[in-house]
């Protein structure tokens, strides 16, 4: 993903965005990675960053509330660290944990 500013180009790897999403997820109680390599799978399509978050949720949590909280936290961290306004943050609930 490229970010162009007054000073030139900044290129950020997909792995960096995955790390940012994992940092955001670690700040939210009640969610867990659904895969061994973390929660995020990101891609770029038509110049837009797309983040897919694959999580498991601890039983008893409000899925809508926790998903929205995760989306907001990922958006906040990516924008804060890169200046990129990511509007495509998808949360996939792949299961539950007792």
pLDDT of residue 93: 93
Q: Which of 57, 6, 4 is nearest to 28 (CA)?
A: 57
Number of domains in the chain: 1
Higher pLDDT, 46 or 6: 46
Interval 25-51: pLDDT, tens? 999 999 988 877 777 888 888 888 899
Interval 64-90: pLDDT, tens? 999 999 999 999 999 999 888 888 999
CATH of the domain at 18: 3.30.70.1350
Sign of CA dihedral 82, 65, 87, 32: positive
Does residue 73 contact residue 23 with C-beta atoms inside 8 Å? no
């Amino acid at each position: 993903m490229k970010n162009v500013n007054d000073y030139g180009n900044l290129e950020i790897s997909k792995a960096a965005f995955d790390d940012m999403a994992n940092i955001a997820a670690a700040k939210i109680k009640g969610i867990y990675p659904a895969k061994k390599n973390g929660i995020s799978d990101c891609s770029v399509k038509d110049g837009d960053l797309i983040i897919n978050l694959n999580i498991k949720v601890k039983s008893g949590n409000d899925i809508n509330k926790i998903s929205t909280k995760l989306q907001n936290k990922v958006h906040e961290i990516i924008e804060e660290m890169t200046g990129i306004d990511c509007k495509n943050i998808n949360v996939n609930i792949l299961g539950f944990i007792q």
